[in-house]
Amino acid sequence: MTAVTAPRRRKLRQPGTRIVVWLGLAVILLWTLAPITTMVFTSFKPATEIFTIPPTLLPDEWTLDNYVTVFTASSMPEALRNSIVVGLIVALLTLTLGTSAGYALARLRFRGARSISLFILLGQMIPLTVLLLALFQMITAIGFHDTVLGVAFAHLVITLPLVTWMIRNQIVAIPYELEEAAMIDGCSRMDAVLYAVLPVAGPGLAAAGMFAFLQSWHEFVLASVLTRSGQSRTAPIALTEFSSEFDVDWGATMAASVVLTVPLVIAFVALQRYLVNGLTGGAVKG
């Protein structure tokens, strides 16, 4: 491996190659940050400045009126609370069910385990719109239509398959001898899982929980079908309040988008170490 990677490293250190790499990274960074930067600065512009010709990035007159509109003249505060509740329920249920299923698929030996693992991922290949009618009927039949619980249960369809697979790979990467040592010391299998396996898989579980929360946080299609009133409407749905058939309040829309994005950025910065470790853990063995 050293003989193969050494020429590549020497090639990467050449000035021409480094310039190309840095230019490529600069283009990707610009492409990624340009929409976010435009969104943030537009949220501080008065309505008369948003479509000025020629367009400007920075506002000539900074204003917080758009944020005042979001928090005082819309249902966004209640929708944010609903999104937080739904996201926490989804993360909790996904981790509970995904950890149980992932452990069974990783440790228990039974016929069809490999096929079941692959079948779980099959759900990720099906377009969400295909499942809309069936989910709507199921959620309505159990009486959870237009409730945060109904939205949370529907979001499990998105989060549970991939999280189960992620946790299964995390547990596969943990040596089984760790559990055996705990059971030799007198622990039951459940104790071995609780006190030996789960602490080691902690970064992966944190990443899985964060992934489930984020998927629920920005989901729009299911929430738009399963909610009707403000008591269950989530934040992505509340964004549509700022547009009508003939007009769009772009300033308030951008301000609401910033409000919707800030919690995600804070959560990512706080948990990025666990997210990276969790997503890469189990990548070698599995």
Q: What is the pLDDT of residues 150-197, one digit of tens each?
A: 999 999 988 998 889 888 888 888 888 888 888 888 888 888 888 888
pTM of the model: 0.81
- Asked whether the bond before 54 is cis by omega within 30 degrees of 0, the reply is yes
Residue at token pair 């991922």: 121
Top-confidence residue, 92 or 116 = 92
Average pLDDT over residues 60-85: 92
Which residues lie closer than 8 Å to 95 by C-beta, 6 or more apart? Answer: 163, 205, 208, 209, 212
CA distance readout (Å), 265 to 7, 272, 280 = 39, 10, 21
C-alpha to C-alpha distance for 168 and 102, rounded to whole angstroms: 4
User: pLDDT category, 257, cuts 50, 70, 90?
Assistant: very high
User: What is residue 231's predicted lDDT score, i.e. its pLDDT?
Assistant: 87
Given a cut of 80, whether residue 256 has pLDDT beyond it is: yes
User: What is residue 172's predicted lDDT score, i.e. its pLDDT?
Assistant: 87
C-alpha to C-alpha distance for 66 and 62, rounded to whole angstroms: 11
User: pLDDT category, 54, cuts 50, 70, 90?
Assistant: confident
Tokens linked to 242: 């700022």
C-alpha to C-alpha distance for 170 and 198, rounded to whole angstroms: 10
User: What is residue 1's predicted lDDT score, i.e. its pLDDT?
Assistant: 47
User: What is residue 79's predicted lDDT score, i.e. its pLDDT?
Assistant: 93
The pLDDT tens digits of the residues spanning 193-246 come to 888 888 888 888 888 888 899 889 989 999 999 988 888 899 999 988 888 878
Amino acid letter, 236: P
Residue at token pair 């099959």: 122
The pLDDT tens digits of the residues spanning 106-151 come to 888 878 777 887 777 777 777 888 888 888 999 999 999 889 999 9
User: What is residue 7's predicted lDDT score, i.e. its pLDDT?
Assistant: 66
